Amino acid sequence: MTDHPGTNRRATTGTSTAAAVLIRGAAPYGEDVTDVLLTDGVITHIGAGAAAAAAERGADVTEIDGDGAVLLPGLVDLHAHLREPGREDAETVASGSAAAALGGYTAVFAMPNTRPVADSVAVVEQVSRLGQAVGLVDVQPIGAVTVGRKGERLAELAAMADSAAAVRVFSDDGDCVADPLLMRRALEYVRLFDGVIAQHAQEPRLTVGAQMHEGAVAADLGLTGWPAAAEESIIARDCLLAEQTGSRLHVCHLSTAGAARVVREAKQRGVRVTAEVTPHHLLLADERARGYDPVFKVNPPLRTDSDIAALRGALADGTIDIVATDHAPHALHDKQCEWEAAAPGMLGLQTALSVVIATMVQPGLLDWRGVAAAMSERPARIGALAGHGRPIAVGEPGNVTLVDPAASWTVDGSRLASLATNTPFNGMTLPGTVRATVLRGRPTALDGELVAPQPDSSRDRATDSLSKVTA
Amino acid sequence: MTPTATPTVGNSDMTAAPTTARHSDAAAGSGLPRHLLDTRTLSADAAELILDTAAQIEQAGAGRQIRKLPTLRGRTVVNLFFEDSTRTRSSFELAGKLLSADVINISGKGSSVSKGESLRDTVATVDAMGVDAIVLRHKASGAAARVAGWVDATVINAGDGTHEHPTQALLDAYVMRRRLGTLAGRTVTIVGDVLHSRVARSNIWLLNTLGADVRLVCPPTLVPAGVENWPVQLGHDLDQALDGADVAMMLRVQAERMTSGYFPSAAEYSRLYGLNERRRRLLRPDGIVMHPGPMNRGMEIAPATADAANSVILDQVAAGVNIRMAVLYLMAGSGPATADAQPSDAAPAAATETETA
C-alpha cells in the first residue's frame, strides 16, 4: 500500500526542466528488465548503454527507479469528458489533465458535449489550446457529429478536421446518432479525411426514461429499465452501415454480452469497426444500484455479472479493441439527489489502469503487451493521434508510463485530482500505482505527484488554472 | 374496559405519552427498522408487530367516544408529499392527529419545491426544525431511501415512484388477516399494471413474508423484465389466476398507459383483465375483492363488483388509519420529545387487554 496518488497536489517544479530522463531497471511490457533513456523528448537509448549515455549528459538527468515496475507506452484515453467550456464547476481541462497524468495518461480525447458544444472550429481549437497551455497531457478534441448534438444535421466536420485541432474523431456521445440516414451520411462524409464516427449506441425509443439496466434489480427497485437490445440494435445497424459504406465505425462504451457478439461477427466479415469498454463495465454490476446511490448511475448502465464476464473475454480476444474511461465528472449537487434526477457518469482517469490490472491482468486474461495495445497503441491508432501509442524503441517519442503492479492503493474520491468526486470505486483497494508518467521526455507525474510544466509567459491562463488544481 | 388496564404492546403503555423513555423501546427486539422504506427487507416479526399493534389500536379506540390517544403528544410528524395524494396523505394526517402528534403537511406545490429547491435541501430544512418523523411521498423510486440518508428524523415511505408503498401493503395484509384469519397458505391474485405499481411490489414481498402464495396476472407489456426471481406465479389469463384464489387484488390502471401503447384500448384491457361478477365467482366462497384506489369503475373493476358484499375496498381505507397509527406509534417516538408531555396530561386510559388476531 502506498500513498494515495494525487494526495499531494503541490507541483514539484524542480525536475520539470529535465532534458533527459533515465528509467533504471524497469521492465518494458513486463518483459526483460533494462534501462531506458529519454533525451530531448525521444527515446534515445535502451539497455546497457543508457546509464552511460545519461552519465555523459551530467546533471540535467532525472533518474527514476524502475525496480519492480512495468514500462508501458503512455496511456491514451479515447473517451473523456473534461467539461470545459461550460461546466468548470465539475472539471476543467486543467483538473482533468492532472487526473489523466496521475492516472498514467499522456493523451486524452475530450468529448464534445460541452457548453457550447464542440461542433465548430472555434470550440475544438479552444479546447485544444487549453490542453496545450496546461501541458500535462495532449488534449485532443473530439468534434460533434451534428450541430448542437441535436441529431438533425451534420456539423462542419471537414472544417474541424482542417482546423488547428486536427479533429479525426466525431461523436454525439451522451446521445446516439439515432437517425439511420444521418448516421450513414456521417460515416460516408468522414472518409474525406479518414475520420471515424464514435457512436453512443442507444436506441432512444427503447430507452425512454431509462434509469438502469433492465433486469432483476431494476424490477425490484422500480426503476425504468435500459434494455440490452437498445444498445445491440444500434450497433448491429451501424455495423451494417459501416459495411455498406466502407467507413470506420467506433463503438463507445460497449456494455453487453450481446453487443460483443454483434461486433465479433461484424469483424469476422471484415467490417471496419472498433469498440471500447470502460473500466467500470469490467468491474461493477447493476446490483450496485440497490441503495439508490447515483454514484453508480451511468450511461450505458452497469450490467450483469454475465455481461462483465463476456466483456472481459471480448477484450481478451480482441473483439473489444480498447479500454476507454468515459471519465464523467459531475458536480456534487448533480449526484446528491434522487436517482432519477441525477446525472449519469463516473470518474475514471485515475482508476482505469488499476481496474484493468484487477480485472484483466491479475486473472491472466491480458498480459502487459495486451494492456499496452488496449490502453495506448490502439486508441492512438483509432484516433489517428500521431506521436502516441508508439513502441518503446529507440527513436520513438518519449511518451511512457511506469506502473508498479505490486503496489496497491485505496481510492478516496475526495483526494483525486478531478474537481468532482464521483468515483464508483470509492473505498476500494485496487492494485497498481503509477510511478511515473512521461510526456515527450518530461515527467508529468512522479509517485502520485504532479510535476508542473515549465512556466511560460504565453501560457498565463494555464498557469492560473493549474494553480487551482495543484494548490 | 377498565381504565387501569394497559395494553401489552412491547411492554409499553401506548396510551401514555412518552417522556424520557425512547419510544422505540416499544419495538425493542422486534427487528423494526429505523425507517420504513420497503417491505422487501421487513422481517416477519416486524410486520406482525405492526399488524398486531394496529389491531390493538383499533380495539382500544372501538369502545370510546373520543378515539384520540395521547401517545405522540409533543411529537412532530411532517407529511411531505411531492405527489398529489388524497387518501394516503389524509390517512397519515388523521393517524398522527389521533395519536396527538403535531402534524404538518407540506405539499410539492406552493412550497419551495416548486421554486426549484433540491429534495436534499428541502428535507434538510424540515429536519433542521427538529421533527420526529417525515412521511414522504415522491415520484422518484428510491426517494425515501435517499432522504433517510440525509436526515435524523424517522422516514416513513408513503410511496416512492414505482418502487414501494409499504403502509399500503401492511393495511392490505391487515384487512386480509381480518377476513381470512391468517395469510399463511392463502392465495392472493394481483391483477393489472405490475410494471408501474409500487402497491404490487410492496404486497408481493410482504405477502411472501407472511406465508401467502401470490399470483400475478397482467398483459405481458405490464410486467417488468427480470421478475423470474420474484416469489410469485406469473400468468396472463385472469380466469385461471382467479380460480380458487382467496383474494383478488385489482391494481389501478392509468389512462396514460393506453396512450403509451401498453395495451390497445380500455375496452380490450377490460375484457381481458377487468374483474366482473362472473370472474369474482371464480374466487373461493369466502374470497374477497380489494383495490387500493382510486378505482376506474368499468375499466379494471365492474361497478357491481366494486360494491359487492365481499368487496373490502372501504375496509382498506379504514385499516389504513390504524396501520399508520401503529407505524407512527412504533417508529415516530424515538428520541427526546420536542415538547413537554406529562403522563398526567394523558386522556383517561381507554385501552383494555387485547388479544392479537
Sequence-distant contacts of A374-378: CB under 8 A, at least 24 apart: A374/A315, A374/A320, A374/A321, A374/A322, A374/A323, A375/A72, A375/A75, A375/A76, A375/A322, A375/A323, A376/A72, A376/A73, A376/A74, A376/A75, A376/A76, A376/A401, A377/A73, A378/A274, A378/A321, A378/A322
Q: A173 CB contacts (<8 Å, ≥6 apart)?
A: A79, A111, A112, A113, A142, A198, A200, A252
Which triple of cell numbers denotes residue A217? 434489480
User: Is the distance from CB of A213 to CB of A286 less than 8 angstroms?
Assistant: yes
Residue of A nearest to B196 (CA): A222
Q: Which of A35, A77, A173, A326 is catalytic?
A: A326
Sequence-distant contacts of A161-166: CB under 8 A, at least 24 apart: A161/A190, A161/A192, A161/A193, A161/A195, A162/A193, A163/A121, A163/A124, A163/A125, A164/A125, A164/A128, A165/A121, A165/A124, A165/A125, A165/A127, A165/A128, A165/A140, A165/A141
**A chain contacts of residue B142, beta-carbon cutoff 8 Å:** 221-223, 292, 338-340
- Give SS3 for A318: coil
pLDDT of A111-164, one tens digit each?
Answer: 999 999 999 999 999 999 999 999 999 999 999 999 999 999 999 999 999 999
pLDDT of res. A60? 86
User: Is the distance from CB of A138 to CB of A439 less than 8 angstroms?
Assistant: yes
User: Is the distance from CB of B251 to CB of B193 less than 8 angstroms?
Assistant: yes
Q: Does A82 touch chain B (CB under 8 A)?
A: no
Cβ distance of A218 and B118 shorter than 8 Å: no
Cβ distance of A219 and B224 shorter than 8 Å: yes
| A330: Cα separation from own chain's centroid | 16
Q: Say how far apart CA A374 and CA B10 lie, in whole Å.
A: 62
User: Is the distance from CB of B247 to CB of B188 less than 8 angstroms?
Assistant: yes
Residue of B nearest to A338 (CA): B143
User: Is the distance from CB of A449 to CB of A455 less than 8 angstroms?
Assistant: no
A20-28 and A34-39 beta bridge pairing: antiparallel
Q: Does A99 touch chain B (CB under 8 A)?
A: no
Residue B345 binned pLDDT confidence (cut-offs 50, 70, 90): very low
Say which of A219, A292, A339 has its CB closest to residue B226.
A219
Q: A293 CB contacts (<8 Å, ≥6 apart)?
A: none
| Portion 318-337 of A in contact with B at CB < 8 A | 333, 336-337
How many other β-carbons are positioned within 10 Å of the β-carbon of residue A239? Answer: 21
Q: Which of A400, A403, A393, A391 is nearest to A46 (CA)?
A: A393
User: Is the distance from CB of A400 to CB of A442 less than 8 angstroms?
Assistant: no
pLDDT of res. B218? 97
Q: Say how far apart CA A157 and CA B170 lie, in whole Å.
A: 60
Cβ distance of A222 and B201 shorter than 8 Å: yes
Radius of gyration of chain B (CA): 20
Cβ distance of A338 and B119 shorter than 8 Å: yes
Best of A292, A336, A339 to disrupt the B interface (most B CBs within 10 Å) is A292
User: Is the distance from CB of B213 to CB of B185 less than 8 angstroms?
Assistant: yes
Q: Does the pLDDT of residue A105 top 60, yes or no?
A: yes
Q: What is the mean pLDDT of chain A?
A: 93
Smallest Cα distance from A338 to chain B, Å: 5
Radius of gyration of chain A (CA): 21
Best of B146, B222, B230 to disrupt the A interface (most A CBs within 10 Å) is B146
> Model ipTM?
0.88
Q: E strand or H helix at A471, and its extent?
A: none
CB-neighbour burial class of residue A102 (10 A; exposed 0-12, middle 13-18, buried 19+): buried
A175 is catalytic: no
pLDDT of res. A456? 46
pLDDT of res. B339? 42
Cβ distance of B226 and A221 shorter than 8 Å: no
Smallest Cα distance from B141 to chain A, Å: 6
User: Is the distance from CB of A79 to CB of A50 less than 8 angstroms?
Assistant: no
pLDDT of A272-327, one tens digit each?
Answer: 999 999 999 999 999 999 999 999 999 999 999 999 999 999 999 999 999 999 99
The pTM assigned to this predicted structure is 0.90
Q: Does B40 touch chain A (CB under 8 A)?
A: yes
CB-neighbour burial class of residue B309 (10 A; exposed 0-12, middle 13-18, buried 19+): exposed
pLDDT of res. B257? 79
Angstrom distances, CA of residue B37 to CA of A201, B232, B279:
35, 22, 35
Q: Does B344 touch chain A (CB under 8 A)?
A: no
Residue B111 binned pLDDT confidence (cut-offs 50, 70, 90): low
Q: Does A216 touch chain B (CB under 8 A)?
A: yes
- Give SS3 for A323: strand
More confident residue, A109 or B28: A109
Q: B276 CB contacts (<8 Å, ≥6 apart)?
A: B302, B304, B305
More confident residue, A435 or B64: A435
Q: Which of B293, B290, B289, B255 is nearest to B87 (CA)?
A: B293
**B chain contacts of residue A222, beta-carbon cutoff 8 Å:** 141-142, 160-164, 198, 201
Q: Does the pLDDT of residue A233 top 80, yes or no?
A: yes
Cβ distance of A225 and B225 shorter than 8 Å: yes
Q: Does the pLDDT of residue A11 top 60, yes or no?
A: no
Cβ distance of B118 and A214 shorter than 8 Å: no
| A395: Cα separation from own chain's centroid | 26
Residue of B nearest to A219 (CA): B224
Cβ distance of A341 and B140 shorter than 8 Å: yes
| B158: Cα separation from own chain's centroid | 7
Q: Which of B71, B66, B44, B39 is nearest to B328 (CA)?
A: B71
Cβ distance of B119 and A341 shorter than 8 Å: yes
Residue type, B44: A
Residue B149 binned pLDDT confidence (cut-offs 50, 70, 90): very high
Which triple of cell numbers denotes residue A203? 436506441
Best of B141, B163, B203, B205 to disrupt the A interface (most A CBs within 10 Å) is B141
**A chain contacts of residue B227, beta-carbon cutoff 8 Å:** 216, 219
Which triple of cell numbers denotes residue A364? 491472466
Q: A172 CB contacts (<8 Å, ≥6 apart)?
A: A112, A113, A144, A145, A146, A149, A151, A200
User: Is the distance from CB of A442 to CB of A16 less than 8 angstroms?
Assistant: yes
Instruction: Write the DSSP symbol of residue B66.
Output: -
Residue of A nearest to B161 (CA): A222
| Portion 140-199 of B in contact with A at CB < 8 A | 140-143, 145-146, 160-164, 198
**A chain contacts of residue B39, beta-carbon cutoff 8 Å:** none
Q: Does B124 touch chain A (CB under 8 A)?
A: no
- Cis peptide bond upstream of A116, omega within 30: yes
A·B CB contacts under 8 A: 71
pLDDT of res. A210? 98
Q: Does B38 touch chain A (CB under 8 A)?
A: no
Cβ distance of B227 and A219 shorter than 8 Å: yes
Q: Say how far apart CA B280 and CA B269 lie, in whole Å.
A: 17
pLDDT of res. B112? 58
Average pLDDT over residues A13-23: 65
Q: E strand or H helix at B42, and its extent?
A: none
pLDDT of B293-334, one tens digit each?
Answer: 999 999 999 999 999 999 999 999 999 999 999 999 999 975
Say which of A215, A291, A339 has its CB closest to residue B141.
A339
Q: Does the pLDDT of residue B352 top 60, yes or no?
A: no
Q: What is the mean pLDDT of chain B?
A: 86
pLDDT of B219-237, one tens digit each?
Answer: 999 999 999 999 999 999 9
Q: Does A286 touch chain B (CB under 8 A)?
A: no
- Give SS3 for A197: strand
